[in-house]
Amino acid sequence: MRNPVCAVTATALFLTAAPLSVDAQTTPQPTSRTVASRRPAPTLPNRVFVDVNGGFQSGTQTFSDARDDPFNSETASWDADYETRGGPAFDVSGGVRVWRNLVAAAAYSRFTDTSVAGIRGEVPHPFFFNRNRAFAGETAGLTQQEDVVHLSAMWVVPASRRIDVRVFGGPSLYRIQRDLVADVIHAEDGYPYDTASFDRATVERVKVDAWGFHVGGDATWMFTQNVGVGAMARFSRAETGLTSPASGESLALRFGGLQFGGGLRLRFGRVAARKEPLRPSRPKPSTPEPSSQTNTVEPTPVEPGVRTTAVLKKDSPVFVRPGASTPIRALAAGTRVKVLEPVGDWLMIEFSDEEWDARIGYVLRDDCEW
């Protein structure tokens, strides 16, 4: 019985190992790596831009001022409590490209807030010592206006042919105008003059210039080559002192804040599309032909300096890369294009676009007479 058992065991082992040996000999090995198609890098289509924005400046600041005056051999005093709140802001800016995606820009912004100041004071009694009479009230609206010129170095990142993102920063020159209380007038409430009341305040406008800084960003979407919309955010800050007309002392204040808004975008000075350089001719590698199971696409280089033309045999879509699902443009039959490079079943072409001037894309080789 030993011999039949051994024979059956040996046969089973042989049948099990045989398919593995066959598979190891017939499985094709990849012969080359897939060659990625070239996609033209986005470039800035215009040299000059103008932005017009409406928005809001956030931030609240409070401060106070005080004054003492001799009165009836004693001292009368008052305090003014100020508040500046966030409010509407306007902004217009422009710039010109100086090198690659670097833009030199300048912007003018204006922020205005009008708010009242609270007045609290004490005035001595006309007949009795150490019997001060308190009074309180509010001024009319006091205005704070900030006119700012922002000088920016701006870097632009074109996300697509219609969308770009900008980041910027630089110094800011502030022109500040602020209404401050110079003096407070009180009223006597009648005999026996035991009470007093707030009558009015005299106001002076103080002006000062100050340097600060700003940083920010902007996102733009263009409807056409020249017109679009965008959103902007900018933080700016300046610190300086205002001389009080009441006390003569300097009030240390901060100006600026976070501005955000959006509006119109205009672009001028169209730039011709950058032409992709031709690849130099290179010898074909001596590797076996790829099997039908691989998706390798090897470009066939054109001789250096030689550009041929092709004519479309029918209406043909143009794609940003071979095999893309959505075309970037459709060209009519009979259109003549420049052939930059054959890539497998595709041709890399340069064609004229009514909106964007010269562009680069891919069409099927079978759609062309070339």
pLDDT digits (tens, 9 = 90+) for 178-222: 999 999 998 988 888 889 999 999 999 999 999 999 999 999 999
Most confident of 165-169, 265-269, 332-336: 165-169
Q: Is the dihedral of CA 233, 99, 266, 350 positive or negative?
A: negative
pTM of the model: 0.63
More confident residue, 189 or 65: 65
Q: How confident is the model at residue 83 (pLDDT cuts 50, 70, 90)?
A: very high
pLDDT tier, 281 (very low <50, low <70, confident <90, very high otherwise): very low
Report for 253-262, 282-291, 319-328: range of highest mean pLDDT? 253-262
pLDDT for residue 303: 52
Average pLDDT over residues 65-75: 90
Q: Average of pLDDT values for 266-275? A: 68
Which residue in this structure is represented by tokens 């042989």?
14
The candidate with the shortest Cα–Cα distance to 302, out of 317, 282, 286, is 282
Q: Which two tokens stand for residue 299?
A: 């470009």
The predicted model gives 344-361 an average pLDDT of 82
Query: pLDDT category, 274, cuts 50, 70, 90?
Result: very low
pLDDT per residue as tens digits for the range 39-48: 544 556 688 9
Confidence of residue 301 (pLDDT cuts 50, 70, 90): low
Give the pLDDT score at 29.
Answer: 45
Strands 61-71 and 74-84: antiparallel
The CATH label, of 3.40.50.10800, 3.30.420.10, 3.40.50.740, 2.30.30.40, for the domain at 308-369 is 2.30.30.40
Domain ranges of the chain: 46-270, 308-369
- Class of domain 46-270 as given by CATH: mainly beta
CA-only gyration radius of the chain, Å: 39
For the chain, what percent of residues have pLDDT higher than 70? Answer: 77
Phi then psi for 225, rounded to 5 degrees? Answer: -60, -30
pLDDT band at 152 (very low <50, low <70, confident <90, very high): very high
pLDDT above 70: residue 1: no
**Averaged pLDDT of the chain:** 82
pLDDT tens digits, one per residue of 212-249? 999 999 999 999 989 999 999 999 999 999 999 998 99
pLDDT for 12-27, tens place per residue? 444 444 443 434 344 4
Distance CA 289, CA 48 (A): 52
